[in-house]
Amino acid sequence: MSDVIKQYPAKPARVYFYATCLVDLFYPEVGLAGIQLLEREGIEVIFPQHQSCCGQPAYTSGLNGQARTVAASQLELFPENWPVVVPSGSCAGMLRKHYPRLFAGTGLAEQAEQLAGRTWELTDFLLHVCRIRLQDHGEPVKVAVHTSCSGRREMGIADTGPALLAQLDNVELVQQARPAECCGFGGTFAVRHPEISAAMVEDKARALDDCGADQFVSTDCGCLMNIDGFADKQKLATRGQHVVSFLWQRSKGGTA
């Protein structure tokens, strides 16, 4: 599937919402905030109840057969030609970039290509498809942004979080020293290479803590869990929040 230039669709009447495992198990408020933001834009949100893992942990571990088994069950959940919106660059990247490769040469190749072509990361969808306009109802705050590696490099969304935050009058964006560096999570990477992962997350967490922000926001729950876990253990002051939850909390009460 060619994805050199994004072809954004017109704002749809309905979307599917693919929540991800980490949202389901650890950050349900992120899923609710994402759905509320979409519904406020006049979009009906369909949440397939049997959704589960996208298959990425097995896929990035080289277990393509297991990954196909898990991923194949997801292909059946989105039968209508509606956008699939995902609050994670990592899982969205799996569906959009890797499903076509995973199912190439199989009977599910066409279905995987079709799903990939209508999969969108949530902040990208809100900014460029919904053309959302946010009104700030919060107190002044300084915020730094961490974009996941998959979001930045696979989905091309490094600028979407900052662009949405820039709409909030009382939010001051603060630049961290390591904006493009990995936090060390990387899914199974953190399990297979714990010492390297620990050194990477220390660099990232301290950069966020030292930049003068009151808090940071992330576009992926895996990064958020990793950085916040280190910060909590080391008793660092700066804590994180998923950008979608932050946007909803700040803009509750209306749009500009």
- Chain segment 104-146, per-residue pLDDT in tens: 999 999 999 999 999 999 999 999 999 999 999 999 999 999 9
Give the residue-averaged pLDDT of 156-169.
97
Domain that holds residue 51: 14-128
Give the residue-averaged pLDDT of 155-184.
97
pTM of the model: 0.94
**CA dist., res. 99 & res. 131, Å (int):** 28
pLDDT of 254 higher than 80 = no
User: Residue 255 — pLDDT band, cuts 50, 70, 90?
Assistant: very low
Q: Are residues 217 and 121 in the same domain?
A: no
In a domain, 38, yes or no: yes
Q: Are residues 185 and 118 in the same domain?
A: no
Q: In which element (H, E) is residue 156 found? A: none
Question: Which residue, chain included where needed, has tokens 């804590």?
Answer: 239
Q: Are residues 83 and 105 in the same domain?
A: yes
Q: Are residues 164 and 106 in the same domain?
A: no
In a domain, 62, yes or no: yes
Domain boundary among 128, 162, 190: 128
pLDDT digits (tens, 9 = 90+) for 72-116: 999 999 999 999 999 999 999 999 999 999 999 999 999 999 999
Q: Tokens at residue 164, please?
A: 């949405």
Residue-level pLDDT at 5: 63
pLDDT of 256 higher than 60 = no
Q: For strand 14-17 and strand 215-218, is the pairing parallel, antiparallel, or unpaired? A: unpaired
Domain boundary among 75, 93, 128: 128
Residues 6+ apart with CB under 8 A from 247: 33, 37, 126, 134, 164, 165, 168
Give the residue-averaged pLDDT of 57-86.
96
Q: Are residues 72 and 104 in the same domain?
A: yes
142 within 8 A of 172, measured Cβ to Cβ:
yes
Q: Are residues 24 and 121 in the same domain?
A: yes
Q: Are residues 81 and 106 in the same domain?
A: yes
**CA dist., res. 222 & res. 156, Å (int):** 18
Domain boundary among 128, 163, 187: 128
Residue-level pLDDT at 155: 96
Q: Are residues 61 and 96 in the same domain?
A: yes
Share of the chain above pLDDT 90, in %: 93
Mean pLDDT, the chain, integer: 95
Q: Are residues 31 and 75 in the same domain?
A: yes
Query: In the chain, how many domains are there?
Result: 2
Residue-level pLDDT at 188: 87
Q: Are residues 149 and 229 in the same domain?
A: yes
Instruction: Give the CATH number of the domain where residue 220 resides.
Output: 3.40.50.1860
